[in-house]
Structure 1
Amino acid sequence: MVFWTVTALIASAAAFLLAMILIRAREQSEPAAAYDLRVYRQQLREVEKDLARGVIQQNDAERIRTEISRRILAADTQLQQARNGASQPSGLSRTMAAVTALVIVGGTLGLYWHLGAPGYGDLGLRDRIRLAAERAESRPSQAAAEAEMPAMGKPQVDESYLQLVEQLRQTAGSRPDDAQGQALLAQHEANLGNFSAAYAAKSRQIDLLGPQATARDYTELAELRIMAAGGYVSPEAERDLQQALSLDPTHGPARYYWGLMLGQLGRPDLAYREWAATLRDGPAGAPWVEGIQAQIEDMAYRAGVQYQPITPGGSNAAPLPGPSAEDMEAAGELSSEERQEMIRGMVSRLSDRLATEGGSAEEWARLIGALSVLGDSARARAIYDEAKMVFASDSEALTLLQTTARQAGVAE
């Protein structure tokens, strides 16, 4: 209700200003009769000067005065008529003002009713995190997402290539334990746009490789699933990315798709941090770096972050704010209330730093513990829930966070 009231007041104020302009409008240009009037009066003064110098006779002066006076009266009459005619009809002006107000106020509210979300309440950070978690749990599966995809047309390739791929399918089918054959089949099925068949072959290859499967293998499997779903990161693709990042937390392509998934789940803040960190690690010119550069500014806007260009492979991270030696020495001389306020300031700076640029699991754990010491258990629990999403693919980080949260009394 507050939103509707504020919107109506702003629209009414704009309508009022335009209405006043319509009602008080006047002709701004000077009528021609006003100029003529000044000329005739100047001529009268010139007549008096000529008479004083003896240039003209008294009789001639009287005759000229009479003629000029007649013209002055005529010009004055025209001027009065022009001034009266410049005023807009009162009824028409008021009608136009009312129509303008109706269009502005009614149009504003009607446009929002059509394009906006009437009745949709404001969402705090905790509610947004909760909704993102619910969305992650209830989002469509890989099969459901693929079912929504339109049918693909026949690929425009040489008939000979199609025959070679068909032979490869038969060979791979007759040798299901050949990991290299499955890898080739996945590659060529992807070339033809058969992404479902491609990720099926890639999944079979990973099963055959077992522990020898690399982060690249799992990322390629996730990428094929994502392409089959039209860019959507399904729960199945998420599990592949988790496996890739558990094997190599620095794997650039997996980090790119992980950030993409976080953005789709309604957590652009986490997505921006992941992409920003990936850009800093580089290297410049890598395909995933170029993909991030093309989208990170929009992600930063969605996250409410003022984006500053990040140099790939460069060190753009600001040092973590914390107490200096002088701060620690001064803290010993403070009262308990002053020390508490000092701790709150440090916690606030750490929280802002992690919210905008991210940080290590140790820093997140430090923040959880500090909030618990300050008695802010609700916020500590919210930070713990968020940290679990940030480090979902890092088992060691999750163990550290869980231990800290238990000590802080915010986890079971």
Structure 2
Amino acid sequence: MVIWIILLLMTAAAVMAVLWPLSRHRALTAEQLDPDTQFYREQIAEIERDRERGVLLASEAEAAKVEAGRRLLRSTGMTADTFAALGEPALRRRRAASALALSVIPIIALALYGAYGSPQLLTHPPKEQAEGQRGSLDLMTAVSQIEAHLAQNPQDGRGWEVVAPVYIRMGRIEDAVKAYEAAVRYLGPSPDRLANYGEVMVLAKDGLVSSEAQRVFEQAVALDSTSPKARYYLAVAAEQDGQFDKAKRAYGELLAASPEGAPWANVVRQRLEGLGAEQSVAGAQENAPQLGADDIARMVSGLAERLETRGGSPDEWARLIRSYAVLGQRDKAKAAVERARQVLAQDDDGVRTIDAMAREMKLIDAGP
């Protein structure tokens, strides 16, 4: 609110700077308009004295005063019309200029502020703005310092482990994958470290538990059979592979072993509800898109329709296949693989991309 008061006062000052000169009334006379006025006035007075002394006849004196008056008008560049213009018309012009200044100046000021200013900053208190900016700068500075340190000491596993979750927070998922991979390499495998590494691999694949990620989770469970994160993603992998009975059993065991108030318990319950306690394998597969992902299912359907009618790149076909796998629709994923191979038959690199995706999701047997 204070900033708007300041802007209002600044606008009022600008308007007054324009209106003040226009509002001053000047009694414009011949004496004010030309410095020669005094000379011609004295000349006329001298002519009048000569007439009184008898030096000039009355007619001669009158003619001399008329000539002096003409010279006065010529020297000032004014006529009778000029003096008339200093009256009511000038007043009307001043009023018009005043109205224009009152309306145009504030409008121009607001337009310029909207175009080049930062009105959105007024939606947050200055203290919150300062704290948010300081937090962002501190985070960026810290990350830069860690990266500079790791560039000089690439075998510092602890540094990689510290920066990995920061990368996730910043949305740099691929960098987080590399950081966790380096942490595991230099610090050695541990249940939590492997579970975090596998989780970020899943994030990088848009929710798909790839074969590589599954192996990481299995290694974590081998080191600690109670690792909740690794057990959860192994259950998700079974669900995506179409092994719904195995997935339900794994979810149930994880839920039973979870302490009261465990943060992952609600997510596990939703997965179980999506599969259904009495649901058959076929029914589970049919209803898999209802696992709280209706919007995703509609987008996948739209992508499939577009690729079928207008075609698409290998990456788009791979995205469709991955989406079907994440939703648990393995039959559709396999059908999309076959359809992509047909459409991309003339594109050897594209076919290799589709085959690699299908092997990664265990839709086809791994080649030699």
User: What's the TM-score, normalizing by structure 2?
Assistant: 0.38
Q: Which fold has the larger relative contact order, with Cα–Cα distance below 8 Å and residues 6 or more apart in sequence? A: 1
Higher helix share: 2
